[in-house]
Amino acid sequence: MTAYDLAVELGLPVACLAAWAAAYCLARLSNSPAGVPAAAAAMELPGQEPPAVVSLLANQWRVTVDAAESTLLDLAARGYVELRQADADPQHTTVHLTGRSPEHLTRYERLVHDRVTERAVDGVVPLTALSFADAGRAASWSKRMRRYVIADARRLGLSRRRFSKVLVTVLGVFGVVAAAGVAAGVWHLVRRTGDDQFGSVAAFVVTAAVLVGVAGRDLGERDTPAGREAATRWLGLRAWLAGHESFAELPPAAVAVWDRYLSYGAALGVTRVASRVIHLGVADRTRLWSSYGGGWRQVPVTYPAGMPRYGQALGWIVFRAVLAGMIGWTLTRIVGVALLDSASGSAASVGPGARWTSIDPVTLGVITLGLLLLGYAAYLVVRVVIDLVAPADVSGEVLWHQVWQVHSSDSDSSSTPVNHYLVVDDGHADQLRAWVLPQEIAGECRLGDVVTVRVRPWTRRVIRVAVQRPAPEIAEPRDDADGEETGSAGAAPGGLHPERLLSAAEVGAALGMRVSLVRPESAAEARWGARFVDGRGSTVLVVNVVAGGRMARAALLLSRSVGQALPGVGDEAYAARDRVVGRRGDVVLLVLHPQEAPGGGAALAGLLATALSRLPADVAAPRP
C-alpha cells in the first residue's frame, strides 16, 4: 500500500464523514431555540393563545405534561367540564361533564375532552382516574397530544421545525456527496485487492441512507419572531403569578374562582398542587417540584443511566482501564508488529520505512484500534485520579430517592437493591442530574431531608451522606371523639414512618417480583401509608399504621370476625385472603395485597411479623 492508496481508501471517507458531521453539528447549534427574556410582571392576560401553546412557548418550545394539565383546566374554565372538590383533599376532586358540545374545540382540546368522556360514568369521573393503566396507550395518547399542540402553534406562526425543509434537503444532498466519497474509497480498495466490486455500491447505499435519515430526523421545534414576542409577554404573567402568595397552592377546583388564570398558571408551571393532582398518563419524574431556596418551581431532571461510568465504583473503572490497556498494548506491540513483519517479508531484511509503506488496511486498523484503546485507558486513569483526589460537596433538599439497579437471584426469584437514584436540589440550579446512591448508605436520607452529600463528580457516585435538617413530619396527630390521640397513616406518634418498616428487597423476596417503594410526598398520600409498586407502576403492597383510637379498634374487630388468627405474630394478628392485620401495644399494622399474594397468607404473615418487630419500643408500648 502506497501513501496515495492510504489517503484514498482511509483519508477520503474519513474526511467526507467528518465534513458532514461538522455541518450537521453547526446546523443543530444555529437552530437551537433562542432564550426569551420575560416582560415586566403584569396580571393581565397578555394574549389569546391557548394554554397548551403557551406551555410550549414557556418551556423552550418543548411539549411537556403542562400542556394536558392546562388544557383540562381551561376546559373547566370555559364550561365544557366542571371540577368539584368534595372535601379538603384535592385528590378527591371529580370531573363532571356539562353537556356542552365539543364541536368547536381544537384537536388537542377534544383529545382531553374525549378522555374525560371515555372514563366518565353517568357523566362523572374522579380526577385521579383519568390516568392510563396501559403504558403503551398512554404513550400513544401523549404523542398525539404533542403533535396536535405543535400543529396549532405552527398555524399561529409561533413555532417551526428546528430543521426547515430546505436545510434538511441541503444536509441530505451533502450526505449523498459524503456517501459518494466513502464509496470511492471502498471502490479503490476493492479494485486494488481484487474483491467484489459490489462492496462500493453497498457502502454508498448504506452511508447515504444513514446520513439522509439522520438529517431528516425530527429534532423538535424552535422559535419564530412572533413566538419569541408572545413568550416574552406570557413570561411576564408567570412572574406575576409566581409572586402571588398562595397561587401555587390552589387546587384544581379553584378554577371556578380564578377562571383561565389557573389554566395559564398550569401552562406556565406555577400551579404546584393542581399539577400534582392532575394525571393524564403523561407525568414523569424528569420534572420535579421544589420549594428549596424559597418559592415553588419545577426543575428538569436527567437520569444518564446509559453512561458506562455512571454510578460505578472506581475499582470497576480501574479494572476497565487495565483491561483496555492490555488489549491495546497487545494489538499494537504484538499483533500489529507481527502483521507488519508478515507484510514486509521479515523484520530483519526490511527497514522501518519499508515496513510502514507496505502496510495494508487490516494492519492499519488493528494498530489504530490498539492506539485508541491505549488512549482510552489513559483517559480513564486520569479521570479516576481526579475523581479520587477531588470529591465535591453538594447541599440541598432531596427531591427524589428511588431504587435504580437491583441484583436478581435465579435460585429464589428474589431481588436485592444495589444502587438508588438521588436527586438533590441546591435551590438555584435550572437543571439537575441524578446522583447514584449505593445501597449501603441509601437508608441515611429520605425524601424531603436537607442533606450535604460528598460525591465524585465524574462518576456521579455518592460516597457519604450527612442530614443537615430532617424532613418535617407528614401530618400531625389528631384527636378522635374519645379524646385519644390518633396518628395519621403516614406518621404515627414518635416519628413512626410505615416506609421504614419494610424494605423493597424484603417485599420483593416475599412476593417473588421486583418492587420499588413509592414514598409519600404529601399528607394526603401519607394517609395511604407506604406503597410498593411493580415495574409497571401497579400497587402490589400497602403498609398502613394506626396508632390507637377508634380506627385501630375497628380494624382489629373486623379482622377478628373474618380473619384467621396468626399465633406468635405480635400481640395478636389475623390473616385474610389479601391482607394481614397485627397489633403490638397500641399500634395496629395493616399489610394489604390488592390481589391474592403469591405463596398465600404465609408471605404476608412473614412481612407483618418483620414490620411489627421494627416498631419503636416507645411507640408500640401500651399506654398506662
In the structure, what pLDDT confidence band is assigned to residue 167 with cuts at 50, 70 and 90? very high
CA distance 614 to 601: 20
Q: What is the pLDDT of residues 259-285, one digit of tens each?
A: 999 999 999 989 988 888 887 764 456
In the structure, what pLDDT confidence band is assigned to residue 174 with cuts at 50, 70 and 90? very high
Average pLDDT, integer, range 431-437: 90
Output the pLDDT for position 601: 61
* DSSP line for 173-206: HHHHHHHHHHHHHHHHHHHHHT--THHHHHHHHH
In the structure, what pLDDT confidence band is assigned to residue 176 with cuts at 50, 70 and 90? very high
Closest CA to 269 of 233, 237, 221: 237
Cβ(109)–Cβ(77) below 8 Å: no
Q: What is the pLDDT of residues 197-223, one digit of tens each?
A: 677 888 899 999 999 999 999 889 999
CA distance 611 to 559: 18
CA distance 328 to 489: 59
**Residue 414 pLDDT > 60:** no
CA distance 464 to 486: 37
Q: What is the pLDDT of residues 297-328, one digit of tens each?
A: 778 888 877 778 888 888 889 999 999 999 98
CA distance 105 to 101: 9
Residue scoring higher pLDDT (345 or 26) = 26
The whole-angstrom distance between residue 20's C-alpha and the CA centroid of its chain comes to: 33
CA distance 298 to 309: 28
Helix (H, G, I), strand (E, B) or coil at 545: strand
Cβ(591)–Cβ(607) below 8 Å: yes
Q: Going by DSSP bridges, is the β-strand pair 297-302/432-433 parallel, antiparallel, or unpaired? A: parallel
The whole-angstrom distance between residue 418's C-alpha and the CA centroid of its chain comes to: 18
Q: Provide the Cα torsion 267, 271, 277, 281; round to 10°.
A: 20
Closest CA to 220 of 166, 282, 149: 149
In the structure, what pLDDT confidence band is assigned to residue 376 with cuts at 50, 70 and 90? very high
Range in 10-14, 42-46, 598-602 the model is least confident about: 598-602
CA distance 95 to 128: 9
- Percent with pLDDT over 70 in the chain: 81
Closest CA to 615 of 442, 494, 474: 494
Closest CA to 464 of 446, 438, 433: 438
Cβ(397)–Cβ(469) below 8 Å: no
Output the pLDDT for position 563: 73
Main-chain dihedrals φ then ψ at residue 226, nearest 5 degrees: -65, -35
Which residues fall within 8 angstroms of residue 501, CB to CB, at 6 or more apart? 530, 543, 545, 589, 610, 611, 614, 615
**Residue 18 pLDDT > 90:** yes
Q: What is the pLDDT of residues 123-137, one digit of tens each?
A: 888 887 787 756 667
Q: What is the pLDDT of residues 89-115, one digit of tens each?
A: 888 889 999 999 988 999 999 999 999
Range in 69-73, 199-203, 368-372, 619-623 the model is least confident about: 619-623
In the structure, what pLDDT confidence band is assigned to residue 482 with cuts at 50, 70 and 90? very low
Q: Which residue type sits at 34?
A: A
**Residue 230 pLDDT > 60:** yes
Look up cell 406518634; give the residue: 493
β-strand partners of 465: 453
In the chain, the N- to C-terminal Cα span, in Å, equals 96
Helix (H, G, I), strand (E, B) or coil at 610: helix
Look up cell 490497556; give the residue: 325
Which residues fall within 8 angstroms of residue 541, CB to CB, at 6 or more apart? 507, 511, 515, 531, 532, 591, 592, 593, 607
**Residue 17 pLDDT > 80:** yes
Output the pLDDT for position 354: 52
Main-chain dihedrals φ then ψ at residue 82, nearest 5 degrees: -130, 135
Output the pLDDT for position 196: 66
Output the pLDDT for position 483: 37
Look up cell 430543521; give the residue: 163
Which H, E and C letters describe 315-362, residue by residue? HHHHHHHHHHHHHHHHHHHHHHHHHHHHHHCCCCCCCHHHHHHCCCHH
pTM of the model: 0.55
**Residue 357 pLDDT > 60:** no
Q: Which residue type sits at 549?
A: G
Q: What is the pLDDT of residues 510-568, one digit of tens each?
A: 787 777 787 655 444 454 467 787 766 677 888 887 766 556 666 677 677 667 888 87
How many CB atoms are located within 10 Å of the residue 331 CB? 22
Mean of all residue pLDDT scores within the chain: 81
Instruction: Give CA angle at 71 (70, 73), nearest 5°.
Output: 65
Helix (H, G, I), strand (E, B) or coil at 21: helix
Look up cell 444502587; give the residue: 419
Main-chain dihedrals φ then ψ at residue 570, nearest 5 degrees: 60, -160
